[in-house]
């Protein structure tokens, strides 16, 4: 009898898991795996956002530092030409080098101009952002054979990132600079002459309208905006794009002739830079494969995947 009972215990202790025990173990494992996956996804999402913010912030710093330096060097020559010009571009034809995607390009038209809000960061500055032109440096005096003044231009163009065939297209912000010699030769009216005839020759006056790849200052900048103010005492009065002291969606062109008009005393600059995820999402949206269901419209994707950076710049001596 004792031997039989011992044998039964031995068999019981050596049997495998029951089906119920196996199901319980599997359920616990699934729960643990789910928790770990959730933590991993959350961690990866936070890392991607942090990495995207760091990368776009680095790009924005380079751009805004350069724009600030140029604006603080803005000068007006003793001439009766347009010496500060800006256009909120609602078309893509200005530069002559813009390349649209085959299917779903960035929207055009006045519906893309939203500048009346209190914050520039909530605005939209057209299809190609603000096309900004002005002069920097200082005029020569006495017997100087040439001035130190140069024309400079900022403009977004969507085009190939390199001259190689088949290279990726991207929204790029260009900073064009005309040489001192060509600036003096072509004069101080940004609305006329060679400044309005696109040129691919580096340093030519036509670079302000048609920049070359050597002028790229940043990739994946999908909007570029600027607002000018007149500071009067403690008040900051909207100057452009504004009318009657208020921001306006319909005032999309600035042609300042300083010999006859007041000049702005402060500028507010904003740029929208895509994250790496935003770059891929926008490319997918603009070249949608068959059966693709977009998660948002063009501007919705920019709101979701681009970071906006703003800087205010006081113009020295009221821009003079």
Asked if residue 4 is part of any domain, the answer here is: no
Range from 5-14, 26-35, 142-151, 225-234 carrying the lowest mean pLDDT: 5-14
- Is 14 inside any structural domain? no
Would you call the peptide bond into 241 cis, given omega within 30 degrees of 0 as the criterion? yes
- Residue 48 or residue 167, greater confidence: 167
31 lies in a domain? yes
Is 9 domain-assigned?
A: no
pTM of the model: 0.81
Q: Print the domain residue range for 191.
A: 19-319
Q: Is 113 within a domain? A: yes
Angle between helices 298-305 and 276-286 (to 10 degrees): 170
Q: Do residues 221 and 63 lie in contact, with contact meaning Cβ atoms separated by under 8 Å?
A: yes
The dihedral built from the CA positions of residue 298, 275, 125 and 86, taken in this order, carries a sign that is negative
Confidence band of 21 (pLDDT split at 50, 70, 90):
confident
Distance CA 147, CA 42 (A): 58
Instruction: For residue 247, list its beta bridge partners.
Output: 242
**What's the confidence (pLDDT) of residue 297?**
93
The pLDDT value recorded for residue 281 is: 93
- Within a domain: residue 156? yes
Q: Work out the percent of the chain whose per-residue pLDDT is above 70.
A: 85
Tell me the pLDDT band of 292, cut-offs 50, 70 and 90.
Answer: confident
Identify which has the larger pLDDT, 167 or 134: 134
**Is residue 6 included in any domain, yes or no?**
no
Q: How many domains does the chain have?
A: 1
**Predicted pLDDT at 140:** 47
Mean of the per-residue pLDDT values of the chain: 87
pLDDT (0 to 100) of residue 145: 40
Helix (H) or strand (E) holding 298: helix 298-305
Residue 243 pLDDT greater than 80, yes or no: yes
Model pLDDT for residues 45-82, shown as the tens digit of each residue: 554 555 557 899 999 999 999 999 999 999 998 888 99
Specify the higher pLDDT residue, 4 or 213. 213
Q: Does 2 reside within a domain?
A: no
Could you give the CA distance from residue 206 to residue 202 in angstroms, rounded to a whole number?
9
Give the three-state DSSP class for 163: coil
Predicted pLDDT of residue 16: 62
CB 304 within 8 A of CB 278: yes
Burial of 249 per CB tally in 10 Å (0-12, 13-18, 19+): middle
d(CA 87, CA 132): 7
Report pLDDT digits (tens) over 181-212. Answer: 999 999 999 999 999 999 989 999 999 999 99
């Amino acid at each position: 009898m004792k031997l039989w009972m011992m044998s039964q215990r031995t068999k019981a202790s050596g049997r495998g898991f029951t089906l119920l025990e196996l199901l319980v173990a599997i359920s616990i494992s699934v729960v643990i795996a789910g928790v770990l996956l959730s933590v991993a996804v959350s961690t990866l999402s936070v890392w991607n956002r942090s990495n995207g913010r760091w990368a776009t912030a680095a790009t924005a710093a380079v751009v805004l530092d350069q724009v600030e330096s140029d604006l603080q060097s803005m000068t007006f020559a003793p001439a009766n030409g347009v010496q500060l010009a800006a256009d909120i571009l609602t078309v893509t034809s200005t530069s002559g080098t813009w390349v649209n995607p085959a299917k779903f390009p960035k929207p055009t038209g006045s519906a893309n101009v939203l500048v009346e809000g209190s914050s520039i960061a909530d605005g939209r500055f057209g299809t190609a952002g603000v096309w900004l032109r002005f002069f920097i440096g200082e005029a020569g005096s006495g017997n100087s054979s040439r001035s130190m003044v140069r024309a400079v231009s900022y403009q977004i163009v969507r085009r190939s990132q390199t001259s190689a065939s088949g290279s990726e297209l991207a929204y790029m912000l260009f900073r064009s600079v005309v040489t001192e010699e060509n600036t003096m030769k072509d004069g101080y009216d940004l609305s006329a002459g060679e400044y309005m005839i696109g040129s691919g020759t580096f340093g030519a006056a036509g670079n302000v309208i048609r920049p070359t790849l050597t002028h790229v200052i940043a990739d994946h900048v999908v909007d570029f905006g600027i607002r000018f103010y007149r500071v009067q005492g403690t008040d900051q009065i909207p100057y452009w794009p504004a009318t009657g002291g208020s921001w306006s969606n319909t005032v999309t062109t600035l042609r300042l002739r300083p010999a006859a008009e007041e000049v702005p005393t402060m500028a507010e600059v904003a740029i929208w830079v895509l994250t790496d995820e935003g770059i891929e999402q926008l490319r997918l949206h603009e070249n949608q494969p068959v059966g693709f269901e977009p998660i948002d419209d063009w501007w919705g994707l920019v709101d979701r995947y681009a970071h906006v950076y703003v800087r205010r710049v006081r113009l020295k001596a009221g821009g003079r």
